[in-house]
Amino acid sequence: MFPETIETDRLRLEVRSPEHVDLDECYRICSSDPGIDEVTEFVTWDPHETKKETLEFLERGRERFEEGEAATYVIYPREGEDGAGEIAGFGGFGVDWEKRTATLGTWLRKRLWGRGYSGERAAALAEVAFADLDLDVVAVGHHPDNEKSRRAIERYVDRLGGRREGRLRNELVYADGTVHDEVRYTISQSEWRKATT
């Protein structure tokens, strides 16, 4: 149902699974990569404490992919990019089939911030959601204090024809059990088609 691999001008996305990711490299990145505390400050998971935790993360990606619940990918810069072939981060979308909505999510290693990879990945995933899966809406959100994500999301949502919907109260549940608001944006299929044709 979901594509196993997606390629953009600068990125290659492969299904998040133990088959596509070196476990040792992934554990190092998810546990102690320089800047990991900044990476995880505004996401719902904490740095991994064990390789078992990393393996379970990868296995969940494959299971949800096969069950049609989510298309999540490991992101690699392509040849010609700094860091080509290394894990840049992870991204994808969960699907609510009843609501016909894909909800985007991503995180990138700190050293790769500011390159526009988030927007490039989002454009490719929106195309899958709308052109391949015929969904009605692509949604994305960020913690209200996450300025870097806000800027990135606003740029690509605007480019893809979408808009800011507002602030959802108590929407995000973090690994430590705390609950936070989320700022949400959406793009409809008709808005996307108008913006990309």
First to last CA, the chain: 25
Query: What digits encode the pLDDT tens for the residues 14-59?
Result: 999 999 999 999 999 999 999 999 999 999 999 999 999 999 999 9
Q: Residue 167: its pLDDT value, please?
A: 98
Domains and CATH numbers, the chain: 5-196 (3.40.630.30)
What would the mean pLDDT of 115-136 be, rounded to a whole number?
A: 98
Query: What digits encode the pLDDT tens for the residues 58-71?
Result: 999 999 999 999 99
Query: What digits encode the pLDDT tens for the residues 159-191?
Result: 999 999 999 999 999 999 999 999 999 999 999
Residues in Cβ contact with 70 at an 8 Å cutoff, skipping those fewer than 6 apart: 61, 64, 92, 93, 94, 95
Q: Could you tell me the pTM of the whole model?
A: 0.95
Cβ proximity of 125 and 140 under 8 Å = no
Q: Residue 69: its pLDDT value, please?
A: 98
